Chain A
Amino acid sequence: MFLLQLRNELVKLFGKKRTYIGFAMFLLAQNLIAVVFRFTHATRPLQRLLESGGHVVADYLSALTIASIMLMPLAAFLLPLYVSLIGGDLVAKEAEDGTLRMILCRPIARSRLLLVKWLAGCIFAVALSLALGLFGLLFARLYFPWGGLFIWMPEQEILSLFPAGTGLERYAVAHVMLITEACSIMGLAFMFSCFNVKPAAATILGLSLVFVSFILEHIPYFKDYENWFFTYHLHLWQLMFAERIPWWRVGQSLCLLVGFNVTFLTVGLTVFQMRDIKS
């Protein structure tokens, strides 16, 4: 029954056109960025950086490097937007449309319904994260040769060079970690979706908290307290590009993200359980 209900939830989710906005935008944005890198001088700073380190530019100006560069802004801005959009819709849109009332005259427990919806949201988040990685690599490969991975993330103090094989592994692991970011932001918007609010409000509330956390985390005064910010733990995927992955930090953040997600789900469940569902 649970699997049938999950399948139905996925049918509902992936039957809607708006579910594909994120996928479509990734296709568009990544294609555009790849074209810009290929046909303009956008790669010059990268080339200079490689040359100053005494590396052969041709070895590292590759599909993997370009795909990883594309990943940074998209993971920071577009991915949160689309997972938040879906997370905010999952309950609130059904309540707004009246289908939630139709569901809740059935003998399904509210907690079970919510769990099915949350899982569907997570599956969407996984699909979107993986699509981001696959599309990025695909489009970068259309315009750039296969080769090593060069990555520079000053904020995380990461400057790394990997041969193609290791680079691909790191790129893949980074996307696995990106799933934690996508699921967590989806879970946050999902929590707000359980309140008696419009779907847009749930999405905006979720995104607002992410952005507020991001802004506070980047204020120098709060540097010592960065551990306390939600977004600090969402950057896990970036650590996968470090020469030596700081697994203790990864473990710490993963534990905290699990805590955040359990909290979001518990708050959502409690609010939803107590709510009156009216027409």
Chain B
Amino acid sequence: MIELRQVSKRFGQRLAVNELSLRVPAGEVFGLLGHNGAGKSTAIGMMLGQVWPTAGEVFIGGAEVGRERRRALSKVGAIFETPAFYDYLSGWDNLRIFTQYSAPTPAARLREVVDWVGLTGRETSPVRTYSHGMRARLALAQALLPGPELLILDEPGEGLDPEGIAEMRHTILRLHRELGLTILLSSHLLTEVEQLCTRIAVLQEGRKIFEGPLAEAKSNGNWLRVEVGDFPAAVTLLTQAGLITGARDGRWLALATGVGVDRVVRCLVEHGAAVFAVSREQPTLEEFYLSLVRKPEPPAAAT
């Protein structure tokens, strides 16, 4: 559905996106992760034809966005972190205005979408009277008009309270399940991404450092959680033995290639270290993400 081929974007001296290649297959809920300034919004801007790539090509539904904008974006809806509307106009007028930049849309379709997002009864009120949650629903309604196959959500949970975030999560799941939409979700809320996405990509400083199924990401870590009496001494010992390549957070060890848990435990016990717990828990997405974007501390500095 979305394909980025060796896409780069430079703003003056700063390289915001660096040779990014990405594929979002149809039917996926795809998570785009990264710190602020990692290049997520720039990448989304290029997908929507708002930011011109310095190099590379962006395809949506097989059409190159720069050259065939109309075909590429005709079945795309988007929501941004702070959806902007004409506050002095009603929600209905806003929907009509935005959707008619895509195609003429009958009132019945507008009403259907207003119903779907739960804004019925308030659609004729000026948007300035809407709560934050209502604005989020209106943003969703405009994205669903006239009838997208791909939904691009750029930080949609930003500024929402926990209840709003939960509502957003359920809505995204509904969109995927009931309407069969392909969804690209860019978010800082890793727990949300973990619950929603089937596939993720992680950007750092404009480069992609991971792309794959969420399940693969979560089983990707070669980290071992240990609870020992003296963690720094254990790190020194295991490093000298060549069993680990890094450590972090006073409890996590990065196992060297081919090293199993048994060898680590044996080494520690043989050298008299007090071992209280050892587990190779599946890391959460947050742990996986942090392990990717943080470089492992050198063993000597680990505490």
User: Per-residue CB proximity of B134-177 to A under 8 Å, as 1/0?
Assistant: 00000000100000000010000000000000000000000000
A44 within 8 A of B: no
CB atoms of B88 and A103 under 8 A apart: no
CB atoms of B104 and A278 under 8 A apart: no
CB-CB under 8 A from B52, the residues of chain A are: 274, 276
B32 within 8 A of A: no
A21 within 8 A of B: no
- Select which of A5, A98, A107 is within 8 A of B82 by beta carbon: A98
A side interface size, CB within 8 A: 27
CB-CB under 8 A from B142, the residues of chain A are: 102
Q: Chain A's nearest CB lies how many Å from the CB of B239?
A: 45
A219 within 8 A of B: no
- Select which of B70, B76, B81 is within 8 A of A105 by beta carbon: B76
CB atoms of B73 and A106 under 8 A apart: yes
A279 within 8 A of B: yes
CB atoms of B104 and A12 under 8 A apart: no
A32 within 8 A of B: no
User: Per-residue CB proximity of A240-279 to B under 8 Å, as 1/0?
Assistant: 0000000000000000000000000000000000101111
- Select which of A1, A15, A101 is within 8 A of B50 by beta carbon: A101
CB-CB under 8 A from A113, the residues of chain B are: 101
Given contacts A12-B86, A279-B41, A279-B80, contact A104 B48 (CB under 8 A): yes
CB atoms of B98 and A277 under 8 A apart: no
B298 within 8 A of A: no
B300 within 8 A of A: no
CB atoms of B100 and A1 under 8 A apart: yes
CB atoms of A103 and B101 under 8 A apart: yes
Q: Give Cα A11–Cα B88 distance, bound, in whole angstroms.
A: 11
A56 within 8 A of B: no
CB atoms of B152 and A279 under 8 A apart: no
B93 within 8 A of A: yes
Q: Chain B's nearest CB lies how many Å from the CB of A94?
A: 9
Q: Give Cα A276–Cα B14 distance, bound, in whole angstroms.
A: 15
Closest to B93 in A: A11
Q: Give Cα A99–Cα B98 distance, bound, in whole angstroms.
A: 9
Q: Give Cα A191–Cα B101 distance, bound, in whole angstroms.
A: 22
A4 within 8 A of B: yes
Given contacts A11-B89, A15-B89, contact A104 B100 (CB under 8 A): no
CB atoms of B98 and A104 under 8 A apart: no
A97 within 8 A of B: yes
CB atoms of A101 and B86 under 8 A apart: no
A108 within 8 A of B: yes
A109 within 8 A of B: yes
Given contacts A4-B104, A276-B45, A278-B41, contact A107 B69 (CB under 8 A): yes
CB atoms of B50 and A105 under 8 A apart: yes
| Those of A1-33 within 8 Å (CB) of chain B | 1, 4-5, 8, 11-12, 15-17
CB-CB under 8 A from A12, the residues of chain B are: 86, 89, 97
B56 within 8 A of A: no
CB-CB under 8 A from A106, the residues of chain B are: 73, 98, 101-102
Closest to B53 in A: A276
CB atoms of B88 and A105 under 8 A apart: no
Q: Give Cα A189–Cα B52 distance, bound, in whole angstroms.
A: 25
B244 within 8 A of A: no
Q: Chain A's nearest CB lies how many Å from the CB of B109?
A: 15
Q: Chain B's nearest CB lies how many Å from the CB of A161?
A: 48
Q: Give Cα A8–Cα B99 distance, bound, in whole angstroms.
A: 11
CB-CB under 8 A from B51, the residues of chain A are: 276-278
Q: Give Cα A104–Cα B69 distance, bound, in whole angstroms.
A: 10
- Select which of A15, A98, A108, A277 is within 8 A of B84 by beta carbon: A98
CB atoms of B78 and A105 under 8 A apart: yes
B49 within 8 A of A: yes
Q: Give Cα A109–Cα B70 distance, bound, in whole angstroms.
A: 7
Given contacts A277-B45, A278-B45, contact A103 B98 (CB under 8 A): yes
Q: Give Cα A276–Cα B83 distance, bound, in whole angstroms.
A: 18
- Select which of A99, A105, A109 is within 8 A of B86 by beta carbon: A99
CB atoms of B83 and A102 under 8 A apart: yes
B225 within 8 A of A: no
B289 within 8 A of A: no
CB atoms of B50 and A4 under 8 A apart: no
CB-CB under 8 A from B103, the residues of chain A are: 1
CB atoms of A108 and B101 under 8 A apart: yes
Q: Give Cα A276–Cα B11 distance, bound, in whole angstroms.
A: 10
Closest to B99 in A: A106
Interface centre among B50, B73, B81, B83 (most CB of A within 10 A): B50
Please report A residues at the B interface, Cβ cutoff 8 Å.
Answer: 1, 4-5, 8, 11-12, 15-17, 97-99, 101-109, 113, 274, 276-279
Q: Which 3 A-B pairs have the closest CB atoms?
A: A98-B84, A106-B101, A107-B73
Q: List 10 A-B contacts (CB under 8 A).
A: A15-B88, A98-B80, A102-B80, A102-B83, A104-B48, A105-B48, A105-B50, A106-B101, A106-B102, A109-B70
Apart from the given pairs A11-B89, A104-B50, A105-B73, 14 other A-B contacts in the complex at a CB distance below 8 Å: A1-B103, A17-B88, A98-B82, A102-B142, A103-B98, A105-B77, A105-B78, A106-B102, A107-B72, A276-B45, A276-B51, A276-B52, A278-B51, A279-B82
